[in-house]
Chains A and B, each alone.
Chain A
Amino acid sequence: MIRVVLPAHLRTLAHVSGDVEIEVEGQVTQRSILDALEARYPMLRGTIRDHVTQERRPFLRFFACQEDWSHELPDAPLPASVASGAEPFLIIGAIAGG
């Protein structure tokens, strides 16, 4: 079970509170996590990555195990502690704007 931490606005949009827990089949990567997340919460499609290009939205970052994974390839394997659920995969909104 993968744990995903969403920004507050996306938790509201998805009607969830706290961490989201999702099952990911196969290798645990940014892409496989986001695919599973969007399959379970379709209202999030387009809010984290572009509908068509699948690129991360500019004001969002992906963190795991105290490291910024935002510029890693989407199919790069994430740490085993994320795959095991010991550590969460964090989707962070930039601190910007008003």
Chain B
Amino acid sequence: MSKVRVLVGTRKGAFILSSDGKREKWDVSGPHFAGWEIYHVKGSPADPNRIYASQSSGWFGQVIQRSSDGGKTWETPGGEKMPTPGGMPAGQSNKFVYDTSSATGRSLTTHQWYDGTQHPWEFKRVWHLEPSLTDPDAVYAGVEDAALFRSTDGGKSWSELSGLRGHGTGPKWQPGAGGMCLHTVILDPSDPGRIFIAISAAGAFRTDDGGKTWKPINRGLRSQYIPDPAAEVGHCVHHIAMHPSRPGVLFMQKHWDVMRSDDAGDSWQEVSGNLPTDFGFVIDVHAHEPETIYVVPIKSDSEHYVHEGKLRVYRSRTGGNEWEPLTKGLPQSNCYVNVLRDAMAVDSLDSCGVYFGTSGGQVYASADAGDSWAPIVRDLPAVLSVEVQTLP
């Protein structure tokens, strides 16, 4: 019988929630890395026992953790003692250094700061880890300040794909309230050279050559909070989702507005439709129905909690515009939680499971594509990310 493993990152550690295909009874393990902020935990599609975790702390900085046994044990790749003649380790564990090579460095030095001046790039943390679709040792890291790194040795060493920061608009990028983070990395299963990424607050970008060259893909986005609402960059994209069977169709939750692209991001149309508010963070796509999408509307950008005190997932079966609230099993009064951008995921069982985590520490699961919900756990630290592995 199939199983699911839900990987949860929180403000104070990681948790792994496991169940069989019925998704009724759950085993909870954790906290792993207790006391540390775990921005993201994600498994390799090529080897589900390989899991990567981003562990960070204001005191101690960034640590990358890796498991090769499905999360039972963890190691810091590159952190093992290496008996080299000089006595120093060969690994470069946790080392994220921006490309400052003479060929590209000059244009990569600064971005826009809150006061409009230019400010140097400063590495802070890894927001998102995206394992390769085919190689368990290859993984991408989206970081703050915004940049994309790649490891091809299981996380031991990291190198920047500096064509992103260097393509030309970098000096116009600026931090959002949560920092200038590269939070979304989507790999196109039909084209190994194509990667989509998103940055707050710069926008969405695409490469078609494996990360050498990039271009902004923000045409059609309108953001009233920037001087030119239709600018090429400067949009606070919160998250993007794609169904693997239709990699040219993208769904976006922007700061405000839910958007859709049918041409791999070359143009976007708003599909907020009848949502009660189109501010939010998460967006995801049903595992088997590419036109069925989910969002969790949040009241506003100054009130980061759900609308009307009701925790409602909204589902569209028409790829946007027509939305229905999903409330069964979710609190419908006195609820003031937030659901952050990486905190929703779907499994791929026949009856698609949908999962999300809240700032109040609840992780909710639906085994029937959102029709009904139940909490797996209620009292974790604030949830930062939720990912799901569907296991044989």
- Number of B residues contacting the other chain (C-beta, 8 Å)? 24
Does B95 make an interface contact (CB < 8 A)?
yes
> What residues of A have a CB within 8 angstroms of the CB of B59 in the complex?
7, 9, 57, 59-60, 93-94, 97
Contact flags B30-51 to A (C-beta < 8 A → 1, else 0):
0000111000000000000000
Least CB separation from A8: chain B residue: B35
Least CB separation from A94: chain B residue: B59
Contact residues, B15-70 vs A (CB, 8 A): 34-36, 57-63
> What residues of B have a CB within 8 angstroms of the CB of A9 in the complex?
35-36, 57, 59-60
> What residues of B have a CB within 8 angstroms of the CB of A10 in the complex?
60
Does A65 make an interface contact (CB < 8 A)?
no
Task: Give A32 Cβ to nearest chain B Cβ, in Å.
Answer: 13
Per the bound structure, the CA–CA distance linking A96 and B57 in Å amounts to 12
Known: A47-B60, A57-B60, A97-B58. A52 touches B97 (CB 8 A): yes
Least CB separation from B89: chain A residue: A42
Per the bound structure, the CA–CA distance linking A45 and B80 in Å amounts to 11
Q: Of A7, A47, A52, A57, which one neighbours B94 at CB under 8 angstroms? A: A47
> What residues of B have a CB within 8 angstroms of the CB of A42 in the complex?
76, 78-82, 89, 91, 93
> What residues of B have a CB within 8 angstroms of the CB of A59 in the complex?
58-59
B88 touches A39 (CB 8 A): yes
Contact flags A1-27 to B (C-beta < 8 A → 1, else 0):
000000101101100000000000000
Does B227 make an interface contact (CB < 8 A)?
no
Least CB separation from A57: chain B residue: B61
Task: Give A41 Cβ to nearest chain B Cβ, in Å.
Answer: 8
Does B392 make an interface contact (CB < 8 A)?
no
Does A71 make an interface contact (CB < 8 A)?
no
> What residues of A have a CB within 8 angstroms of the CB of B89 in the complex?
38-39, 42, 45
Task: Give B320 Cβ to nearest chain A Cβ, in Å.
Answer: 38
Per the bound structure, the CA–CA distance linking A42 and B94 in Å amounts to 10
Per the bound structure, the CA–CA distance linking A65 and B79 in Å amounts to 30
B79 touches A43 (CB 8 A): yes
Task: Give B166 Cβ to nearest chain A Cβ, in Å.
Answer: 19
Contact flags A32-75 to B (C-beta < 8 A → 1, else 0):
00000011111101111001100001011000000000000000
Contact flags B249-291 to A (C-beta < 8 A → 1, else 0):
0000000000000000000000000000000000000000000
Per the bound structure, the CA–CA distance linking A51 and B60 in Å amounts to 12
B81 touches A40 (CB 8 A): yes
> What residues of A have a CB within 8 angstroms of the CB of B78 in the complex?
42
Task: Give B367 Cβ to nearest chain A Cβ, in Å.
Answer: 35
B63 touches A13 (CB 8 A): yes
Least CB separation from A59: chain B residue: B59
Per the bound structure, the CA–CA distance linking A95 and B329 in Å amounts to 41
> What residues of B have a CB within 8 angstroms of the CB of A7 in the complex?
59-60
Task: Give B53 Cβ to nearest chain A Cβ, in Å.
Answer: 13
Does B87 make an interface contact (CB < 8 A)?
yes
Per the bound structure, the CA–CA distance linking A39 and B85 in Å amounts to 12
Contact flags B79-109 to A (C-beta < 8 A → 1, else 0):
1111000011101011101000000000000
Task: Give A33 Cβ to nearest chain B Cβ, in Å.
Answer: 15
Least CB separation from A10: chain B residue: B60
B76 touches A13 (CB 8 A): yes
Per the bound structure, the CA–CA distance linking A50 and B184 in Å amounts to 26
Least CB separation from B97: chain A residue: A52
> What residues of A have a CB within 8 angstroms of the CB of B36 in the complex?
9
Task: Give B27 Cβ to nearest chain A Cβ, in Å.
Answer: 23
Q: Of B79, B81, B95, which one neighbours A51 at CB under 8 angstroms? A: B95
Per the bound structure, the CA–CA distance linking A12 and B35 in Å amounts to 11
Contact residues, B130-177 vs A (CB, 8 A): none
Known: A13-B63, A59-B59. A46 touches B88 (CB 8 A): no
> What residues of B have a CB within 8 angstroms of the CB of A43 in the complex?
63, 76, 79, 93-94
Task: Give A64 Cβ to nearest chain B Cβ, in Å.
Answer: 20
> What residues of B have a CB within 8 angstroms of the CB of A96 in the complex?
58
Per the bound structure, the CA–CA distance linking A13 and B95 in Å amounts to 16
Would you list 12 pairs from A and B whose C-beta atoms are within 8 A, ordered by A residue? A9-B59, A39-B81, A39-B88, A39-B89, A40-B81, A41-B81, A42-B79, A42-B80, A47-B63, A51-B97, A57-B60, A59-B58
Binding site for A on B (CB under 8 A): 34-36, 57-63, 76, 78-82, 87-89, 91, 93-95, 97
Binding site for B on A (CB under 8 A): 7, 9-10, 12-13, 38-43, 45-48, 51-52, 57, 59-60, 93-94, 96-97
